[in-house]
Amino acid sequence: MLRPEQLLHPQRVPVTPLHASTLLLLRDRAEGGWEVLMTRRSEKASFVPGAYVFPGGGIEAQDAQAHAQVAHRAGAPADGLTEAIAAVRETMEEMGVLLAVHADGRAATQADVDAIDRCAPLWPQLAGRGLQLDVRSVWQLAHWTADRNLPKRFAVPFFVAQMPQGQTPVADESEQFEPVWVNPQEALARYEAGQMPMIFPTLRTLERLSGFPTAQSVLDAVAQGPLWISAPRAGRMLGKEFRCMEHDGAYGELAMVCPDGQILHELAWQSECAVPLRKNLLRLTAPNANVMTGPGTNSYLVGEASTGYIAIDPGPADAAHVARLWEAAGRDVRAIVCTHSHADHSPGAFLLQAHCVQQGQVKPLIYGLPSAPTARANSHFVPDAVLEDGQQLTLSPQVPEARSMQGQTHTLRAVHTPGHAANHLCLLLQEDALLFSGDHILNGSTTIIDVPDGNMHDYLASLDKLAHLCTTEGVEFVLPAHGYALGDAPGVIARLKAHRLAREARVLAAMQQKPAGTTQDWVALAYADTPQALWKLAERSLIAHVERIRALGLHHVSD
């Protein structure tokens, strides 16, 4: 597991979230499209004053005690039922909208709403009018848990329901003001124009809803369960706060660097100076951003001043980049490791080695696996020392008094993972259970498998090997050669394998649909969901899938 003493910042215990519940009321527009009810919070509110929100509020003891007084779906879980009741009750109190039914099944009317004193206890008044709150058509859309850094946090399920016919929302003019029906796209445009201030969960909910054509399509989607569950994290982007959900690229890195949620980590890509990720880990991204490398090739430095550093993937042949790496390492590079021999990873190793010697440092050895005969000419690579599967490189303090200090040893274990390249290695930082994945696992894209040096069968087998490693070693974070650090390492690997196999199924279907087709024909079918500008690159991995399909004899199976 991660060594706490290697964290960059002293940790704080996040505030325990309070429980609340929210309801999104939807209705169709006569002219087409649909809209959602929003309201403006009081300027005196203790939480997000003046922001536009969906109706809702805190869960109360009465909500858990009222299950028998509420019309609900059979088998509904108790917690979910309590939360749904709270959302409907709060909507009545704040907005004067009542989801309820009479004993004979008739829906509550505006007359029923007008007869209720919203400042008095609700349940006796419902009973007096023969009404039950009705949550049978209330479905959970999502669940949000507020940022860990906030002094006041809420854990909030977001529910959705159709607006009852014949009722008109009227804000309580105490907690909520100015009810407004608005289409999600329009609400987002008003936010951008500075007309509707909103907090992150509201914005992201509207963004997700903007893709639905009708209110009914939203309800159909959530009938199978919530669309997302999120506890956002935040960092800095060029000095400003930048929030992420779990599926966003930077989320895992924020979890690794600031697990307690402090908003301290700068996420802007940096090629001029190293970015600390742990006390014993720095990243410097080469200035070679393009469609293949994303923001550039990540070079990592593992170690500390007392141990010296191991440089991982010094990158392309860029003298300025390797000079910056050497400076970031305190001018003390003890070893250089290349995950594989591609031109954006290994050429910088020899430049860095030469730079160290020119500056009077002891020549650091270059470790890795030599390129196979199948490698392209620009990927020829012969290391000084072969790094076999399971072999270790260890840094430890050279000064006797430093050796007694905790957390001063750093061990990298080689893990042979052919597939992207025949000589591909991943590296495990054992003391911290961090996995350096080279190009085998990327953040934001899937790696290209370019035959003959690449092999899809080997690639999938290497994913299984890494999945086992993550389980046995407790690996939670992956440090890729391109993109931010990834969290939930086992989940990342499982999803990546599922994606590759799903793509392979589409390739097989394309081959069966056009048995005499070319690879270009098959790409058009199997990668129809990918921008056509990327088809030429996708064709490389398609060929690798075709090779595996034919080796397994799957292409003879008909639909």
- Which tens digits make up the pLDDT trace of 236-282? 999 899 999 999 999 999 999 999 999 999 999 999 999 999 999 99
217 plus 146 within the same structural domain: yes
318 plus 372 within the same structural domain: yes
Please count the other Cβ atoms lying within 10 Å of the Cβ belonging to residue 163.
20
Please count the other Cβ atoms lying within 10 Å of the Cβ belonging to residue 403.
12
Q: Which domain holds residue 71?
A: 18-231
Measure the CA–CA gap between 239 and 75, rounded to whole angstroms. 49
Radius of gyration of the chain (CA): 29
| DSSP 8-class letter at 436 | E
Q: How many CA atoms lie within 13 A of 217 on its CB side?
A: 11
Whether residue 93 lies inside any domain: the answer is yes
Measure the CA–CA gap between 164 and 31, rounded to whole angstroms. 19
Whether residue 296 lies inside any domain: the answer is yes
Please count the other Cβ atoms lying within 10 Å of the Cβ belonging to residue 404.
8
| Bond from prior residue into 452 cis (ω within 30 degrees of 0) | yes
| Residue that finishes a domain, picked among 435, 453, 487 | 487
236 plus 203 within the same structural domain: no
367 plus 510 within the same structural domain: no
| pLDDT over 80 at 405, yes or no | no
Measure the CA–CA gap between 444 and 460, rounded to whole angstroms. 18
| Residue that finishes a domain, picked among 464, 487, 510 | 487
224 plus 237 within the same structural domain: no
213 plus 239 within the same structural domain: no
Q: Which of 250, 297, 249, 293 is nearest to 271 (CA)?
A: 297
What domain count does the chain have? 4
| Residue that finishes a domain, picked among 181, 203, 231 | 231
Whether residue 84 lies inside any domain: the answer is yes
Q: 373 exposed, middle or buried (CB, 10 Å; 0-12, 13-18, 19+)?
A: exposed
Q: What is the pLDDT of residue 554?
A: 84
3-state secondary structure 237-256: ECCEEEEECCCCCCHHHHHH
Whether residue 391 lies inside any domain: the answer is yes
Whether residue 253 lies inside any domain: the answer is yes
Measure the CA–CA gap between 479 and 252, rounded to whole angstroms. 10
Q: What is the pLDDT of residue 124?
A: 93
Q: What is the pLDDT of residue 558?
A: 47
214 plus 177 within the same structural domain: yes
Q: How many residues does this entry show for the chain?
A: 559
Measure the CA–CA gap between 429 and 307, rounded to whole angstroms. 15
| pLDDT over 50 at 315, yes or no | yes
- Which tens digits make up the pLDDT trace of 37-81? 999 988 887 778 899 999 999 999 999 999 989 999 987 787 899
297 plus 260 within the same structural domain: no
Q: What is the pLDDT of residue 46?
A: 74
pLDDT-based confidence at residue 403 (cuts at 50, 70, 90): very low
Choice between 283 and 48, residue whose per-residue pLDDT is larger: 283
- Which tens digits make up the pLDDT trace of 178-220? 899 999 999 999 999 999 999 999 999 999 999 999 999 999 9
Q: What is the pLDDT of residue 400?
A: 57
Q: What is the pLDDT of residue 183?
A: 96
Do residues 366 and 349 touch, judged by C-beta distance below 8 A?
Answer: yes
**Is the Cα torsion angle 147, 148, 149, 155 positive or negative in sign?**
positive
Mean pLDDT of the chain: 94
226 plus 242 within the same structural domain: no
211 plus 244 within the same structural domain: no
> Which CATH number fits the domain that encloses residue 453?
3.60.15.10
Whether residue 9 lies inside any domain: the answer is no
441 plus 292 within the same structural domain: yes
| DSSP 8-class letter at 329 | T
- Which tens digits make up the pLDDT trace of 500-542? 999 999 999 999 999 999 999 999 999 999 999 999 999 999 9
Helix (H) or strand (E) holding 94: helix 78-95
* Distance from the first to the final alpha carbon of the chain: 47
- Which tens digits make up the pLDDT trace of 124-169? 999 999 999 999 999 999 999 999 999 999 999 999 999 999 999 9
423 plus 514 within the same structural domain: no
